[in-house]
Structure 1
């Protein structure tokens, strides 16, 4: 029997590696040991950037005559949290009642384990691929995502790599395997509003200027009115205030500054640039109509700082990729998957600039939770879906 053909064994090896972001933890070495016997050439570039941890990544390719299919994902995992709350050690890959427990079981070492097994089975049955398959695997998806997939794709492109389609193995299914394919993602934009006041005694407000009053006005302008009602393919744009802070330990002191941080998940009504302009406009208008302090006519003194990089909205229209995957899922599971753009961001936001990309993996109910786990039956089913997809994708004429 071909090595790596069993997704359960593959996943057990990956879970056993404590690859908490940004540590490699042995996970990429385990994956390399699975892929090399299958005829993949494997490289593991490390990327760096000032102020961020170095991150090791993996690029593996088995070449053939035909289209080039990318499978993308990450071996890094989030911290385990309260280890004492787990019913099994979080890196033990223990099996109980038909489920394997461990950090990364569904997000997303399980998807990687299944795709490796699918490729191994296809090669065992057919001896070769009618095209090329590459693995684009990062150790930086759960972290700042600076030294991971984005740089790995740039590195590979500079070496002459091109792809025709990509699947990201994130856990896309809400309830059962076959529920959902992600064919796009909303964009993400984050910022911080800092309102500047004048510190003073709470009993003498006329000698001070309370920035909290101004911040309340500005935040309200971001929350109402709604940005849009949604589009055919996307949910309504939504802004959430995630922190409000004045850093003030004293109850009788008016603070000097007040800060609010927000995140917006936006649809294709907006670009990053137009959304930034809208937020600026709302804050400017709100700062001028500030009426909370009687007798104060000056506008609210504020700064707006954008955080991180904008993740742009995208939607995949490639029928061969979407249709072939949908058909493969239906043939194996009996379910016709919903095509969705719901949820947060993923590394598909980088891949979209290189080739059409969709996401499909395991059921995500326990991702990031204590006792993260996956049904062994789902590992087998997902492997069968991936195997059928590989066969059908390469069998079609381009």
Structure 2
């Protein structure tokens, strides 16, 4: 018996679960219920401790053998913030749009792929879901933990589609074939606190911070290449934390992020920044966390599978892009070719996040075309 799934109804049920990262529990119950009804064998596990956990992860598969096509995504969402017209976790349809936190990023895409699996119930090989509850957070216990779980069981997809919202002006116009890397750094500049009238008894770190910021601003990493836009270093905050007007502060700090292309490695950029900071302010320290390296999926069958399914549904040829933020593809690329494709992203992470009902249905049909081509 064929089971039909309404992707908008399923997305609404998922949105109704306030699964702010790190997520677990009810939102996974709903997805498991839908997948089990479609013949998927579902595995769930919770891992990690506070503050980055606990996190729930899910792996589900249907069929066996090769080829193995995986769909990856996340059920966690960013905090809703204030100012919504409606409760962000009470899904609302108005003027053809489904409103709610996660409608775009990315419960709508997950629901569309589940519905596509209902449409394509007869396929060769293996079809799987790789779903985490920690993509919007630090990812400490998310996709990397899922990959370790899969490796221990000898599970390795041949290709993976990630349902991140990549479309820009209309559904199907952009597919992400790679992503820039990301590294965060925290700079601390020590000084000696003192009275402003006795500067010889103090050591002002604010002046040193100014030199550091000028030196960082002068760094030119690259001009980009055929696959990637230029890397960029952005200072995101500079802080002294001094409420008094007559006190030289005892320390100053700054934070920066570098989004870098495949001409760099994160560790090399950390060395560059540390050297630059030390030259401008001796004694300063730099702590760093590399969120992911830049990656690029070479041209191959996965490109054709996804682009042809999009062209069949929309009549447009998508742009193959590496622009924008990163995704869990930075981890999954270690397994196999990866591309990201999903709903239009204009409202992701915004107040009144919303996905067009027509786009969710259209995405379902595109995903069904992907499955048919991948597992023919």
TM-score (norm 2): 0.97
Could you tell me how far apart the structure 2 residues matched to 1:238 and 1:323 are?
31
CA contact (8 A) 1:241 1:263 kept: yes
Q: 1:11 maps to which residue?
A: 11
- Which segment is superposed worse, 102-111 or 197-206? 197-206
Q: 2:74 maps to which residue?
A: 74
Q: 1:359 maps to which residue?
A: 340
Within the alignment, does 1:212 sit opposite 2:210 as a pair?
A: no
CA contact (8 A) 2:72 2:161 kept: yes
Q: 1:295 maps to which residue?
A: none
Select which of 127, 147, 150 maps to 2:144. 150
CA contact (8 A) 1:4 1:10 kept: no
Q: 1:55 maps to which residue?
A: 55
Select which of 110, 113, 122 maps to 1:112. 110
1:332 alignment partner, SS class: helix
CA contact (8 A) 1:196 1:256 kept: yes
Cα deviation, residue 144, structure 1: 1.6
Select which of 141, 151, 154 maps to 1:160. 154
1:231-289 Cα distance to aligned partner (Å, 9 max, x none): 111111111111111121111100011001111001111111221222222223333xx
CA contact (8 A) 1:64 1:129 kept: no
CA contact (8 A) 1:197 1:301 kept: no
Cα deviation, residue 49, structure 1: 4.4
Cα deviation, residue 154, structure 1: 0.9
Q: 1:231 maps to which residue?
A: 225
Give runs of ≥4 in structure 1 deviating > 4 Å. none
RMSD of the TM alignment (CA)? 1.4
CA contact (8 A) 1:163 1:354 kept: yes
Select which of 383, 387, 390 maps to 2:364. 383
Select which of 314, 318, 324 maps to 1:337. 318
CA contact (8 A) 1:332 1:381 kept: yes
Aligned residue pair count: 376
2:263 alignment partner, SS class: coil
Q: 1:297 maps to which residue?
A: none
CA contact (8 A) 2:55 2:141 kept: yes
Could you tell me how far apart the structure 2 residues matched to 1:81 and 1:11 are?
20
Provide structure 1 residue ranges, at least 5 long, that are not aligned to the other structure.
Answer: 288-299
Could you tell me how far apart the structure 2 residues matched to 1:11 and 1:2 are?
20
Q: 1:26 maps to which residue?
A: 26
Provide structure 2 residue ranges, at least 5 long, that are not aligned to the other structure.
Answer: none
Could you tell me how far apart the structure 2 residues matched to 1:284 and 1:19 are?
42
Could you tell me how far apart the structure 2 residues matched to 1:156 and 1:261 are?
36
- Which segment is superposed worse, 210-219 or 104-113? 210-219
Q: 1:346 maps to which residue?
A: 327
Select which of 180, 184, 190 maps to 2:178. 184
Cα deviation, residue 2, structure 1: 3.8
2:228 alignment partner, SS class: coil
Kindly name which structure, 1 or 2, has the bigger radius of gyration based on alpha carbons.
1
1:72 alignment partner, SS class: strand
Could you tell me how far apart the structure 2 residues matched to 1:280 and 1:92 are?
47
Cα deviation, residue 340, structure 1: 0.6
Could you tell me how far apart the structure 1 residues matched to 2:291 and 2:176 are?
20
Q: 1:258 maps to which residue?
A: 252
1:40-67 Cα distance to aligned partner (Å, 9 max, x none): 0001111114643211111101123431
Cα deviation, residue 345, structure 1: 1.3
Could you tell me how far apart the structure 2 residues matched to 1:26 and 1:182 are?
30
Could you tell me how far apart the structure 1 residues matched to 2:145 and 2:217 are?
35
Q: 1:305 maps to which residue?
A: 287
